[in-house]
Amino acid sequence: MKDDFEKLLDQQPEKEPEPQERPALRDIPVREELVPRTVTAPDGQEIRIDPLQDYYCQAGPTVQTPAYTRIIEDLFNWARAESLWILGFGTGCGAIEMRPLMTPRFDAYRYGIQWRPTPRQANLLVISGYLSVKTLKRAIRSYEQMQNPKYVVGLGSCTINGGMYWDSYNTIKRLDDYLPVDLYITGCMPRPEALLQGFDDLKKLIRAGKAEGANKYAENFERYKTNQKRVIKDWDMPDYSW
Partner 1 sequence: MSFEWIMIPYSLLTLFIVINYGLLLTALMQKIGARVGRRHGIPIWQNYIDLLKNYSIRSSITHGVMFYLGPVFRLTGGVGLLLFVPTIFGSEMFSNLSFAGDLILALYFIFFGSLGMALGAGESGHPHSAIGVSRGLSQVTTSELPFALAVFAVALQYQTLSVNDIVAAQQGGVMNWTLFTNPLAVAAAMLSFLGSMMRPPFDVVLAPQEIPIGPPTEYHSSYLALMQTNRVIFPIAKMVVYMNLFFGGAASWPVFFLKIFLIYFFSLFIGVVFPRFRVEQSVRWFLIWAMPLGIAAILVV
Partner 2 sequence: MQTLISQLQTRFQLSEFILQRDNLAFVTVTREQLRPLLLHLRDKEGFTHLVLLTAVDWIEDNIFQLTYLLGDRTAGCDIGVRLMLPRDVASMDSIHDLWPTAATYQRELREMFGIDFPESPRVDEDFILEGWTDLPPYRRDFDTLKYSQESYVDRLGRETKDPAAYMKLKLYPDEDNDG
List residues binding partner 2 (CB under 8 A).
8, 11-13, 16-17, 19-20, 22, 24-28, 133-134, 137, 160-162, 166-174, 177, 230-235
Report if residue 148 touches partner 1, rule: CB under 8 A: yes
Cβ at position 16, least distance to partner 2 in Å: 6
28 backbone φψ class: left, alpha, beta (φ>0; ψ -120 to 50): beta
Report if residue 200 touches partner 1, rule: CB under 8 A: no
Cβ at position 148, least distance to partner 1 in Å: 4
Rounded distance between C-alpha atoms, residue 224 and residue 232, angstroms: 12
What, of partner 2, partner 1, none, does residue 169 touch, CB below 5 to 8 Å by kind? partner 2
Contacts with partner 1 in 97-126 (CB under 8 A)? 103-104, 107, 109-110, 112, 114-118, 120-121, 123
What, of partner 2, partner 1, none, does residue 233 touch, CB below 5 to 8 Å by kind? partner 2
What, of partner 1, partner 2, none, does residue 26 touch, CB below 5 to 8 Å by kind? partner 2
Rounded distance between C-alpha atoms, residue 31 and residue 198, angstroms: 40
**Strand 37-40 relative to strand 46-49: parallel, antiparallel, unpaired?**
antiparallel
Amino acid at 83: S
Per DSSP, what are the bridge partners of residue 126? 153
Report if residue 34 touches partner 1, rule: CB under 8 A: no
Rounded distance between C-alpha atoms, residue 94 and residue 190, angstroms: 8
Report yes or no: 192 and 106 within 8 Å, Cβ to Cβ. Answer: yes
What, of partner 2, partner 1, none, does residue 12 touch, CB below 5 to 8 Å by kind? partner 2
Helical segments of the chain, H only: 2-10, 51-54, 70-82, 95-98, 133-145, 157-161, 192-207, 213-219, 221-231
Provide the binding-site residues for partner 1, judged by CB under 8 A: 64, 66-67, 75-76, 79-80, 82-83, 103-104, 107, 109-110, 112, 114-118, 120-121, 123, 147-149, 242
